[in-house]
A and B are shown apart, each in its own frame.
Chain A
Amino acid sequence: MLDYLLTQAHALWAWLTGPTATGVLRALVTVAVGLPLVALVARRAGGWFRRRQSAQNAMLAEKAAYYGGLAVLTVMVVQELGFSLTPLLGAAGVAGVALGFAAQTSVSNLISGLFLIAEKPFQVGDVVTMGGRTGTVLSIDLLSVKLRLLDNAYVRIPNEVIIKNEMANVTRFPIRRVDLNIGVAYKEDIRRVRGLLLDMAWKHPLCLMEPEPQVNMVGFGDSSMDLLFAVWTATPDYLGLRNAMLEEVKRRFDEEGIEIPYPHVSICRGPGTEPFPVQVVSPPHG
């Protein structure tokens, strides 16, 4: 019995002092030291870029440093465990082909993500409209873009979808034009209406004086003369000015007696445009 225990202890000691155990130990130390180091380097890289460049570049730098560090760490650990990288890389190549077929969508998203990062149609913090949804860009990752919608919903949009479809960046430029479609009755004096609208624009502090506000006649509608009232504003003030101007138009038109018409229907009988005769009769008694 004692002999057996001694043999086992000797075998254990031999294993512990052998190349396998020291390799495992070194691998553990590499992971224990390497992981925090990689995280620290990634955070520092992100901070450095954040101070000098945009939030998006900082996020990219942080992720590149982190995943690059992880890759180096993995190679080091594999070598410490005594595996040769050559057959592993060969196997990884074969597995990569298989995975590539299985993960075409992911690869497509990945490549689309690289295009998005290179093309920079938007950056973290921009407000964009994609597929009818408008929201603030939270992050641009290799597989998807994350948005916070105006109603505070969180939306993940695959990069492939963004590359394939039309998107609009509504905060790209410092100023925006607010377009208001306004209809007035045919009896109104169009010059007077135009003067009133321009006066409203010039008196509102959020409305830019340059580029100048404009009132354009768009056409003759079924019930109204249709005007396009276009005013410029700083991009962050877009919604505020839009709401304010709509309210102001209604208030001023009411004050000045300018009619905002709604669709009228005239029922005619016989020649010309004589009105359809309507006779009000009393309900039968009893």
Chain B
Amino acid sequence: MTAELKGWGEHEVPEGPGAVWEAGPLRLRLRRSAGELHVVPDRARVGREPRGPFDWPPEAGAPVWSRWAVGGVPPRVAVLPVLPDRPLVVQPEHPFHLPPGERARVYVRVPVWARLCLAASTRPILLEVPTVVLSNTSFGGYTECVLCYWCPTTARRTVEPELWAPHLVVCPLDLTNLSPVVLPVARLCLPVRHLGIYRQADRLWADPLDVRLPGATDPAEIRPSGTPPREAEGATLLSPPRETTQKGLTGWTFSALQALPGAALQSLPGLGGVKR
């Protein structure tokens, strides 16, 4: 009988048939055998059994067990949420406008990565797997740009029950328009590597980001708060940020691509598909 491991945190992996841990569409299968820990991420859930490390030839597309020799440590692992390893380009489904001098808080849901560590004092990292595979995108120009993940969002203005899911973290953004013109909030680039994750009951929160926008074409000043959001009373730090920064970050938060001249191909009007 396969054991079911619930939620983020430390778990014991039993000998024998192993255990299953789930968050959203991601399922991690774990088992211990002869001083080894075997793990296989299974997102498709197509019902195919994972291939063993010595099965040959490998079956195309079948999940394969990864092995770690962990004989000297207790049979406990920690599964922790971490934010993606690249910046996120967030596009609100319904763009809104920010008048000069206005400040707005929006909530963005981000699918987390599951980080599997040994539950030892140093917490060595075994692997990191995204709960949802996000599409790649770039932010910037054609010659100098940053590779990011694409994250469509509803960018809600209030915290609502449907925001919450075990594999999603809610990141509050405080947008302040310092420019003398109305800014369209159509696309944002968020440096999520600098955000920690807090747990409040079953909810995951990220550091609020303070984004000050001097203009649509000027770099924004972005500052992670380093504390739980005010809505998350009693929240505790579950995962620290991948990178810490003492100073504010400066970045092109608004879409710069729209202003780029000369896309190599021009789309034909009215014949584009529908974005998923």
Contacts and interface: CB of A to CB of B under 8 A. Distances in A.
Given A173-B142, A234-B147, A202 B267 contact: no
Contacts of B274: 195
A216 B272 CA distance: 10
Nearest to A203: B276
Nearest to A233: B136
A212 B267 contact: yes
Nearest to B146: A174
B276 A202 contact: yes
Interface stretch (B26-34, B167-175, B223-231, B257-265): B257-265
Interface string B242-275: 0000000000000101000001111110011111
Contacts of A26: none
Interface of A is mostly: mixed
B150 A214 contact: no
A107 interface: no
B257 to A, nearest CB: 5
Interface in A118-161: none
Contacts of A232: 138
A164 interface: no
A206 interface: yes
Given A174-B144, A199-B273, A211-B142, A216 B265 contact: yes
B138 A175 contact: yes
A99 interface: no
Contact of A209 (B143, B146, B150, B263): B150
A211 B273 contact: no
A222 interface: no
Nearest to A176: B142
Contacts of B143: 172-173
Interface of A: 172-175, 177, 191, 194-195, 198-199, 202-212, 214-217, 228, 230, 232-234, 237
Given A210-B137, A211-B138, 17 more contacts: A174-B145, A175-B145, A195-B273, A195-B274, A198-B273, A199-B273, A202-B135, A205-B136, A206-B136, A209-B135, A210-B138, A211-B257, A212-B267, A214-B267, A216-B267, A228-B265, A234-B138
The 5 lowest CB-CB distance pairs between A and B, nearest first, are A198-B273, A209-B137, A209-B150, A195-B273, A214-B265
5 contacts: A174-B147, A177-B264, A205-B134, A210-B257, A216-B265
